[in-house]
Amino acid sequence: MSEAEDRELGALQAALAAEHAAVYGYGVVGGRIGEARRTEARTAYDAHRARRDALARKVRDLGGKPVAAAAGYALPFSVPDSAAAVRLAAELEERVAGVYSDLVRAAEGERRATAAGALREAAVRAVRWRGGSVAFPGLAERAGSPSTPDAASDQAPDPDPDPDPDPDLASASASASASASASPTA
């Protein structure tokens, strides 16, 4: 397998792992979400299940063994009510978008187009859940900028952003962030 195929397979596996975590997370969302948004949550849950299954097939098509879902995942915060469930849904979508942005970079042809579509869908769902958007969906947490409109207004812009960031460091940081965000629990 070529180096490019290895990168693509790794990005596919990361996207598959993110979809496993999103399916788990939407199980929590569905249990706490209010009646008014339950259909929206169910639609998102079904979309992530379909993406997960398609990614598993693509991994097998490239000769890989699809990464298995963990028995459970650590949530980024407690989800005691409907408002927290909405925040969790937005967070799930933003994290999935970030992983798909990596897959867009690693893939070519049809898989790149499919990954770009998945990135767009996750970004749109995040906007619907959160009620606001970010300039570059999937990249907000990597840039260190806040992902919510309220948080953005509370922080002053960085007066001296790094004009030449190390792309390898950013990629490693993003991979570590993605791994930490979908960490299984015991």
Q: What tens digit of pLDDT does each residue of 110-132 get? A: 999 999 999 999 999 999 999 87
* List of residues 6+ apart from 121 with CB closer than 8 A: 47
Distance CA 166, CA 19 (A): 28
pLDDT, tens digit (0-9, with 9 covering 90-100), for 20-63: 999 999 999 999 999 999 999 999 999 999 999 999 999 999 99
Are the C-beta atoms of residues 94 and 140 closer than 8 Å to each other? Answer: yes
| Neighbouring C-beta atoms of residue 131, cutoff 10 Å | 12
pLDDT, tens digit (0-9, with 9 covering 90-100), for 69-113: 999 999 999 999 999 999 999 999 999 999 999 999 999 999 999
**Per-residue pLDDT at 164:** 41
